[in-house]
Amino acid sequence: MEPELKGSSNSGPVTETETNNFEYEAQHFGFTPITLLNGMFNAVCDLYREALKAFCKTCSEKYPNVMSETEYKNARHAVSEFIDKDVCMLFDKLEYFLLHQVFTIPDDVVLPEDQCQLQRLSDAEETQLEKQIVDVRKRILAVKYANAELSQHLKDAEILQKTLDKVIEQLSSPENSVSQLGAKALKDWISYYGEMLNKCLGSKKKAT
């Protein structure tokens, strides 16, 4: 069975929590340093393991009766475990050197995107900024109120238009000819349409 790939430390792969200290370096370099190291470690392991496989295959083909396939496999695994220990030890040293001497940013260095965090506003500037915030909030509320009023006016205008259309339609019908009405019917006619017109006028005043 092939030995599992490990991280560049005998303690196993480096977790995300352990790389929190290198987040600032990642912003500066464009990659996570510990990820680069793990990639280098895995590349080295893949290289020598492939070399061992090729060596065993060549020996098996050239000297088929010296060792069996199982013996070659066990020998390859034993050598791999031995090399793994040396590689892990060397990468522990390389990791410490690279993370503490190469992929680091001095404490007094600030990345361009973080420069704004160093700028401090004076008391007068903070007061002015707070006033501007309050003013913007008032403007937003005023716009919301105006939109609500406009929506209500549009609804009132729609109701007024429907009422006027109904009055015009009824006045235009042959049944409502004034010449055909008697005294009592004429009184009722004037009363009815007077009431409808008052409703229209009331809706119009409300809309304005």
**pLDDT tens column, 39-51:** 999 999 999 889 9
**Backbone phi and psi for residue 109, each to the nearest 5 degrees, phi listed first:** -95, 130
Q: Could you identify the residue written with the tokens 């680069």?
A: 36
Weakest mean pLDDT among 21-30, 59-68, 114-123, 189-198:
189-198
14 near 7, Cβ under 8 Å? Answer: yes
Q: Could you identify the residue written with the tokens 């401090």?
A: 120
Average pLDDT over residues 48-61: 88
For 84-102, write each residue's pLDDT tens digit.
888 999 999 998 888 888 8
134 near 126, Cβ under 8 Å? Answer: no
CA distance 117 to 127: 19
CA distance 208 to 197: 17
CA distance 74 to 122: 73
For 11-23, write each residue's pLDDT tens digit.
444 444 444 455 6
Average pLDDT over residues 136-161: 87
In the predicted structure, residue 72 carries a pLDDT above the cut 80: yes
User: From residue 84, how far is each of 50, 78, 88, 91 by CA, in Å?
Assistant: 14, 10, 6, 10
CA distance 173 to 139: 51
In the predicted structure, residue 133 carries a pLDDT above the cut 90: yes
Query: Which residue type occupies 74?
Result: N
What pLDDT is recorded for position 165? 73
Residue 61: CA count within 13 A, CB half-sphere: 6
59 near 72, Cβ under 8 Å? Answer: yes
CA distance 55 to 31: 36
**Backbone phi and psi for residue 188, each to the nearest 5 degrees, phi listed first:** -65, -40
Torsion sign across C-alpha atoms 97, 98, 104, 106? positive
The residues spanned by each domain of the chain are 17-117, 120-207
104 near 25, Cβ under 8 Å? Answer: yes
Query: Confidence class of residue 184 from pLDDT cuts 50, 70 and 90?
Result: low
DSSP helix/strand/coil, 64: coil
What pLDDT is recorded for position 132? 93
